[in-house]
A and B are shown apart, each in its own frame.
Chain A
């Protein structure tokens, strides 16, 4: 199975800050990577697909980049409603696996 790691595991930032989360795959997954946002008590919500494409309806302050084994997720200007846990997920082969998550809160 492909292992996904994320860093940091949690972060605290101020409103308006730029926030960056990294995700690393244990082997080359090309661009078969999604980013999800999960708010407490809610289902995950797809934000970024194919590593860098913004899902319809998602604010443009969210972005993703990378390919191969190293990926980055960025919130360009953190907003109070962005408080959530963010997960990366590969879908290069079976089983699709998720990173352990990065919890983001407001300083």
Chain B
């Protein structure tokens, strides 16, 4: 079971970035997935979640209206589209797998993370 994030980098305030998370070793479409971020030297913050089918999405208030989570179950890939980026969005972004086929918002498998830096 493996999750591999990509797409991080340096972006200017107000800019956009799309993160990807490639999954392998499990039936991707059966499990809800989430994005969790960690600002440098800080704790963990849940950002967004999506059901196994992709029909339902959830967002933290801090990103609602700016970030969009989606998934392509045919490609076993999770996405996070980030728009109107702010300095406070600077963080390592992790994708994480739900341990059950129902949405629990618990996380049993994590990717290695991808760094997003928002700075001019």
B104 in contact (CB, < 8 A): yes
Contacts of B60 in A (CB 8 A): 95
B10 in contact (CB, < 8 A): no
The chain B residue with its CB closest to the CB of A99 is B43
Decide yes or no: A87 and B43 within 8 Å by CB, A49-B106, A94-B58, A96-B105 being known contacts: yes
User: Interface stretch among A39-47, A59-67, A70-78?
Assistant: A39-47
Contacts of A45 in B (CB 8 A): 110
How does the 8 Å CB contact mask read for B44-56 relative to A, with 1 for contact and 0 for none? Answer: 1110010000000
Complex Cα distance A38/B104, Å?
21
Assess whether A96 is in contact with B46, with CB atoms less than 8 Å apart.
yes
Grouping DSSP codes into helix (H, G, I), strand (E, B) and loop, the B interface class, with mixed when no group exceeds half, is: loop
B8 in contact (CB, < 8 A): no
How does the 8 Å CB contact mask read for A24-55 relative to B, with 1 for contact and 0 for none? Answer: 00000000101010100011111001000001
Grouping DSSP codes into helix (H, G, I), strand (E, B) and loop, the A interface class, with mixed when no group exceeds half, is: loop
Count of chain B residues with Cβ under 8 Å from any Cβ of A? 20
Complex Cα distance A49/B109, Å?
12
Complex Cα distance A38/B49, Å?
21
For residue B9, give the distance in angstroms from its CB to the closest CB of chain A: 18
Interface set, chain B 82-102, CB cutoff 8 A to A: 94, 99
B68 in contact (CB, < 8 A): no
The chain B residue with its CB closest to the CB of A50 is B106
Q: Residues on B close to A: CB < 8 A?
A: 43-46, 49, 58, 60-61, 94, 99, 104-113
Given contacts A49-B106, A96-B46, A96-B106, 8 further A-B contacts (CB under 8 A): A34-B107, A36-B107, A44-B44, A87-B44, A94-B49, A94-B58, A98-B44, A98-B46
Q: Residues on A close to B: CB < 8 A?
A: 32, 34, 36, 38, 42-46, 49, 55, 87, 89, 91, 94-101
**Can you offer 21 A-B residue contacts whose CB atoms are under 8 A?**
A36-B107, A38-B44, A43-B110, A43-B111, A44-B110, A46-B99, A46-B106, A46-B107, A46-B108, A49-B108, A89-B44, A91-B104, A91-B105, A91-B106, A94-B49, A95-B60, A95-B105, A98-B45, A98-B46, A99-B43, A100-B43
